[in-house]
């Protein structure tokens, strides 16, 4: 995963969970609309190489690790 490119995550109002990584704001927004539960809100956040979600994924699944 190239963490150096800008990308987007969904931040749900009910939790601090970031959802999967998206290449565009529009792509993240479409998916969030599909997944939003009644009364739930979200924000689309633009992130870069310092993305805490992506850093956590790399920490637990480093490049070249066996599946």
Using 50, 70 and 90 to split pLDDT, how confident is the model at 47?
Answer: confident
pLDDT of residue 29: 95
CA gap 46, 67 in Å, rounded: 29
The label of the residue with tokens 């927004």 reads: 29
Q: Does the predicted TM-score (pTM) go above 0.85?
A: no
Nearest residue to 58 (alpha-carbon basis) of 3, 10, 21, 19: 3
Please give the pLDDT value at position 51. Answer: 83
Which pLDDT score is estimated for 41? 92
List, for residues 7-33, the tens digit of each pLDDT value. Answer: 999 988 877 666 688 999 999 999 999
């Amino acid at each position: 995963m190239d963490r150096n490119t800008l990308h987007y995550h969904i931040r749900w109002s009910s939790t601090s969970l970031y959802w999967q990584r998206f290449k565009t704001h529009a792509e993240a927004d479409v998916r969030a609309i599909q997944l939003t539960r009644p009364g739930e809100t979200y924000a689309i956040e633009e992130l870069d190489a310092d993305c805490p979600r992506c850093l956590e994924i790399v920490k637990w699944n480093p490049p070249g690790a066996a599946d």
